[in-house]
A and B are shown apart, each in its own frame.
Chain A
């Protein structure tokens, strides 16, 4: 009897433990509002202004109920408060349903917030929330308010958050002019003393009065369109500079984040005569101590194709090809050296040179960790070595231009 009693209690305890954990947060899909993007701005009083982009599923899925097109696929709710969580609670008073953040794939931070308040005090709420994803992308609204970007209605990807993310990804992949970076990576870089984060900029160009009206997307030429513009440089969690065009691409080369970019060189006195498309590349950075000081050796190896030739040129000749390869390498080297110079000027180690030195020379790092960004990094010596290889020249060797010239003679 005694034994049975004990066994029963044990059994009940075991069964009980299975119910101490679990997924109690049952929510029906039509009881929640799916947040797709969050924008953070600052008002005149220095308070935070949150903009929440909520998906109207019926208008996105559209065709089923025949409602797509006439009604906006997103709804916007705003709230003002002192911190991020307050924004959430104030906004939820305006929405009939629970805000669900697990599909909020985009956080837009206003340029003024990034410059004045900094991102350090904002990101904690996003990181701490169990609903928010660590892979949520971050962008900075450049030249416009974050709310403008979040409100914009877009054409092909109906939810603008999705459009922004895809645009950044494709820009990074095809040009190297943007950087697709998520919450987790930004926080990792903020914490590290040997690396500073880079966050892409995004803006709305065109007729900016109309971006939140349905008519914005009802013309074949979209009135107000979100564009990827440059990469924001951070120092101590605050935005200090923007990298545009070649500076941005040069930085991405050093970071080894180039996937597929075009390099254009002048040839035979003609500007932009030869275009080279990178297919494979690898950047290696090795710190070495020289006279008690570290020096960064950056080696780049790039392989690619010739994709456009606007001058008569014999691509079948290896001499010509070697000359082009050398010219390409020279161009790339210049781009990268400029990018490094800018970073040193900004006193912001966006390349993570500090982390590399920490790994290879921990003793030196311990001495210089505190003044790395301000003293050591700006004076750091670097040597860039670039090798480029032309693997193919497209479907033909000589451009048809050279044939035309012959006929003229």
Chain B
């Protein structure tokens, strides 16, 4: 038996080797005949009509055929027509007699007035460039091709992001184009230390993926780790940054996100400056940030734009809101079915009166209402905008009014579910809000089975799980566990801007923690009388 498997495995390995050989054989080089080359391009692209061939004759006696190939829609039209086709046709250098061997050099040096020009001789690279928007110039009789950078085409313009909205702060949001996105960061952080490394992931889609970090601030080990994990990916397609996130996160079996994502360039900039690493993926406005910590999901960029007292208060609120969104209905279920003695008599009487006609146990009622709410939420997310109004009316009337009046659901439960629903939307990060929704159901079930005791058990399991998580090797609950007193200044409480002395220890590079100089605390003017009552500049001795 054993030997049989071994043979099979060996067989597989042999197959793989053969495939690899085949692949290396197929890396063909460009032919010298123009018509052959055109034939190959047409065959490889299945004669797709959006691939345009434009033949231009150059030189005299004999005339040399050249063909410009590009993909319609991917190119920048003015560059191709003005700087490529027109120059090729009208350039005086090309109307003289030239040798075919020198044609490519002349075209690249004297004719094409575009930024990036490159000679290529293998088909794989050529196709990659052609299909990403470059134009290729073939010259008859030469087994090389000239690639001119003409990337362009229609793209969504920069708009306000639709997630992570803020009152104060930049209105720019990322777009689907990776070049635009990277440029937006370059505009914010003007240092040569802003390093970018690119790669193509996806055997079919060949999606552009770039990692960005600030050299000297980001930890080398984390950069290496991310690169290693990205290089490991072997998948046919990457359609969104979520693909990458799921393929490189530390732990799979957890409802909590271990990578952050955002549409906001200022948020990425803030994270880069703390030593985090951004992963840009072409085709999505969502940029990944790693490592991500639990407390980060309760922080909004606006916290840093507002004054520290206000920012700290809102962060406290978000934590309370998160706890409500996890334990809200569970608390109600446990208190009304197990611990009635803990409810003040008057409140108990009111709740009991409402539950008098309700036919279902409180747990089932809670689960039903929660599921109903999830259905409403999901439906209103996916449905065409025109029907949105209908949905909210039906939801409000049927659940809020009719179900209560019919005595199927108690009004108290509707209140609890509504508060929880609002609470789950008040968390700034959508990804942690989704996790809270999942965890909430577990809490309701625990509370329904063994009351507060079950809730405490569930809570212990939750805390242990959170503490066991890592994001690219960094403990998920830091700086709370392991405790880092210095780092606590930017968790649920945000220290004043003038007291932000250091970058987070576990994330930033060790040698470069210093963030601001000494004595940054603003002070009132030394002279109490900047201006005297009659408008003169005071000398400080008025008092």
Contacts and interface: CB of A to CB of B under 8 A. Distances in A.
Interface string A101-113: 0110100000000
Interface string A257-298: 000000000000000000000000000000000000000000
Given A22-B453, A26-B338, A28-B362, A36 B355 contact: no
A58 B356 contact: yes
A21 to B, nearest CB: 7
B373 to A, nearest CB: 22
A60 interface: yes
Contacts of B454: 22
Interface in A1-22: 18-19, 21-22
B345 A105 contact: yes
B338 A57 contact: no
Given A57-B353, A103-B345, A29 B336 contact: yes
Interface string A127-170: 00001010000000000000000000000000100100000000
A126 interface: no
Nearest to A158: B349
Interface string B350-381: 11111111100110000000000000000000
A55 interface: yes
A131 to B, nearest CB: 7
Contacts of B399: none
Contacts of B350: 57, 61
Question: Interface residues of B toward A: which range?
Answer: 20 to 34
Interface string B379-408: 000000000000000000000000000000
A55 B349 CA distance: 8
A30 B451 contact: no
Interface in B206-239: none
Given A23-B453, A24-B450, A57-B349, A100 B340 contact: yes
Nearest to B404: A64
Contacts of A21: 453
B339 A29 contact: no
Contacts of B331: none
A25 interface: yes
A23 B353 contact: no
Interface string B304-345: 000000000000000000000000000000001111110001
A107 to B, nearest CB: 15
B298 interface: no
Given A18-B457, A36-B345, A57 B356 contact: yes
A17 to B, nearest CB: 11
Nearest to A56: B353
A59 B450 CA distance: 31
A233 interface: no
Contact of B450 (A22, A64, A162): A22
A311 to B, nearest CB: 46
Question: Shortest 7 CB-CB distances between A and B: which pairs?
Answer: A102-B341, A61-B353, A57-B353, A23-B451, A57-B352, A22-B453, A29-B355
Given A21-B453, A58-B356, 16 more contacts: A22-B451, A23-B450, A24-B450, A26-B338, A27-B340, A28-B362, A29-B362, A34-B348, A34-B352, A36-B345, A64-B353, A64-B411, A65-B353, A103-B348, A133-B341, A159-B349
